Structure 1
């Protein structure tokens, strides 16, 4: 293992000796799959680091310049994967080597182990007396429910190798789940998949959303456009939204990249659709607060964007599967539709308008979104650790 950021050792000021020896702070190791940018999983990691400011982070690969100051303040230790050629860019190519790399990590001396799982992270071998809590964003999609999607989209060599490699990785994935003392899932959807694939129960602890960064505007400032925001990834189904808005002839704004996908979608879009690409946060925040509603037609494990929209005082039209079922109250804070097709989304928009859900009380939407703040997440993590006798 390699230290990226060793913790600075500064002398503490002298203090009077207490009458009773205080309980020492537990040594905490937080295992994260890889640190190559700041996305939803890394925001969860930041919150864990605020809970345990002296924790060490163990990860396969780290690119420090792409990380937040919060993460860089911690000692970051990498596995042997980081020493392989081009690991910072091609880390996912080394997926078959990651199980062994995790098992080589020496966690002797740690009192609590917390793994942040969406890629290989939970497979470390914790000390016998150190409770291991796994916070699961998702069981590895490319091994389980999305295996055939990933294989169909892979190159020729990867497509040929995946059946053998995935078979062995699934065996390791299940066996390593048995080493974990307790699971917390970021949504009921993920908890169901943990039960399905690993045969383990999980407490649902929704991830922290920075709801305080968003705010509604005066009602007269709300526009007549619908909004898409986020990464233009195929599984998020931006194609459904663009085509539905073209057929409905509704004003529509699309925020997000990559540019190649944006250009492809632009060719199928109607005249009332505008593509803004990647924008500064203030621009995103303004559109969140002024849209008629957010369109969210994909199935996600949790989905932070709908919560941000509701924190901005705006309702959501979302596909009624996955994490949206945890965040959107059908008929109150938005509308959930069950038919994931262009026609299904068109019908949902028309039903949304007929029900007058665009006039939902912004204050009520903000109150609902506040239930997904960082304090609630940290409360859930503490409760999960307490169940394991860790705190």
Structure 2
């Protein structure tokens, strides 16, 4: 069986690329098609694959300026020749699903999210853009939305990374989707051998939609220690005036250092509304609880008062109250072994079983897939 994996762009190893990496382990002979690829930024598993770039890669400075070429990506996808392929799996968060598959091929789309910058977070992105982009966005986004909806009809079946995303798929594309949660490398994390230290942890890109501002302001009010992992520097400078004396910006850290911070923290602070959220699962795999905003993917990974605490108001006051409740109820003493056991529900093997089950439902069974 000849398999094509379509991914929006390969310029780093974030959540979408880790899903693609696991798909490559299921289909090691597959060909990856992507708009632009920086092999130096990829894992050994992805670097070993056959990777074909679309026509976008031939545009000036495409590896750096690929977001500027978003409006050209639909035509680039339609220019991919998939003749002879039996199975097409598109990995969608940027333009990927709009390829034209052969008539007899099965096309499944694993959707991390419909493009947030043209749908639910369009106004956030536009308000933060420069003046030229703000003027152009209404016209470009309108055309991209039209293509995004019509190209959804080319897909035979959708798989969402969470129930939250499945509802968004139905809202914008009017398509149903099954749910297979993304794989989390839980074995890379371990429970600490000592008592947790007296700090809370924030991890992730310092992007507005992840709401680091809420965490910064809440911990300035609380006078508690908060360690912030992530960049970029521009956002650190923007957030710094609001931070309290016990908040530290650590910037980017190594994977080993991150694992150490996770297993020794009091809890993870997670105030954004995410599609799924791998970081809370990684922290729970380290035996530590999570304080998360009670909407989005966190509701599917964090069990309120069992593996952490969910709060309702996405404000600094709401988060500060949640931290006080967390401490008053002794939730920092949740059993680390039970937290890790819960995190194992999102292990790579569970993801693989889910994908194989979806393929089986569409009449495709791999040679090493045991009969039901």
Deviations 1:205-232 (A, max 9, x none): 11111110001113x4311211111111
1:287 aligns with 2:261: yes
1:131–1:390 CA contact under 8 A, matched in 2: no
Query: SS state of the match for residue 61, structure 1?
Result: coil
**Residues 265 and 155 of structure 1: CA distance in aligned 2, closer, same or farther (over 3 Å):** closer
The answer to whether the 8 Å contact 1:131/1:389 transfers is: no
What displacement does 1:31 show? 0.3
Write the distance in 2 (CA, Å) between the matches of 1:105 and 1:297: 40
Are the equivalent residues in 2 in contact too, given 1:151–1:162 (CA < 8 A)? yes
Q: Distance in 1 between matches of 2:254 and 2:69?
A: 34
Structure 2 distance, partners of 1:345, 1:304, is 20
1:263 shift after superposition: 3.0
Deviates more, 1:158-167 or 1:262-271: 262-271
Deviations 1:255-277 (A, max 9, x none): 11112222333322112222211
Aligned position for 2:200: 226
- Aligned residue in 2 for 1:185: 160
Structure 2: 5+ residue stretches without partners:
366-372
Greater shift after overlay, 36-45 or 220-229? 220-229
Quick one: which of 149, 152, 171 aligns to 1:174? 149
Residues 228-259 of structure 1: CA deviation (Å, up to 9, x unaligned)? 11111111111111111111111221111112
* Corresponding residue SS for 1:178: helix
Aligned residue runs from structure 1 range 83-232, under 5 A: 83-218=58-193, 220-232=194-206
Q: Shift of residue 370 of structure 1?
A: 0.5
Match of 1:35 in 2: 10
1:343-383 CA-to-partner distances (Å, cap 9, x unmatched) read 10011111111111111000000000000011111111111
Name the TM-score, length of structure 1 as normaliser. Answer: 0.92
In 2, Cα distance between equivalents of 1:76 and 1:276: 35
Q: How big is the alpha-carbon RMSD for the aligned residues of Structure 1 and Structure 2?
A: 1.0
1:319 and 2:293 matched: yes
Q: Deviation per CA, 1:110-144, whole angstroms, max 9, x where unpaired? A: 11000000000000011111110100000001111
**5+ long unaligned stretches in structure 1:** 1-25
Specify the alignment match of 1:20 in structure 2.
none
Give the Cα separation in 2 of the matches to 1:209 and 1:248. Answer: 32
Q: Secondary structure at the match of 2:242?
A: coil
Check whether the contact 1:133–1:384 (CA below 8 A) recurs between aligned residues.
no
Q: Which segment is superposed worse, 278-287 or 122-131?
A: 278-287
Q: Distance in 1 between matches of 2:133 and 2:192?
A: 49
Other structure's SS at 1:221 match: coil
